[in-house]
Amino acid sequence: MDNGLDPIWGLYLLLLGAVATYIPRGLGVFISGRIQSNSPLFNWFGCVAYGLLAGLVARMIVLPIGPLEEASLGLRVLSSVLAVAVYYLSRRNIVLSVFSGVGLLSFGIWLG
């Protein structure tokens, strides 16, 4: 099927994508030596990132969409509490905590 485009356009688009990706990365490497990681601006960005993450997790628990809607609010909250408890009881093992929370949630949905 002929779409009327020269095959070289694919190469041009690939090159454009590479330039659009690697120029900001190169600038980041160039600037990274001058950034102070303990500056107030960096701390602010960290706080904003944690706040956004907390908001997204809270929204997934309280107002879920998709397959998560099948689980009751109580089950979602209980799974989250279990995941946090396992995280702290297992010396901050994130893999074990995620699997325990997802496991309880999956088991609860399967029973329900």
Whether 63 and 80 have beta carbons less than 8 Å apart is answered as no
Span 45-55, pLDDT tens digits: 999 999 999 99
What value does the mean pLDDT take over residues 56-81?
Answer: 93
The pLDDT score that the predictor gives to residue 100 is 97
What value does the mean pLDDT take over residues 1-5?
Answer: 62
Whether 79 and 108 have beta carbons less than 8 Å apart is answered as yes
DSSP 93: -
Question: Does the pTM of the predicted model rise above 0.85?
Answer: no
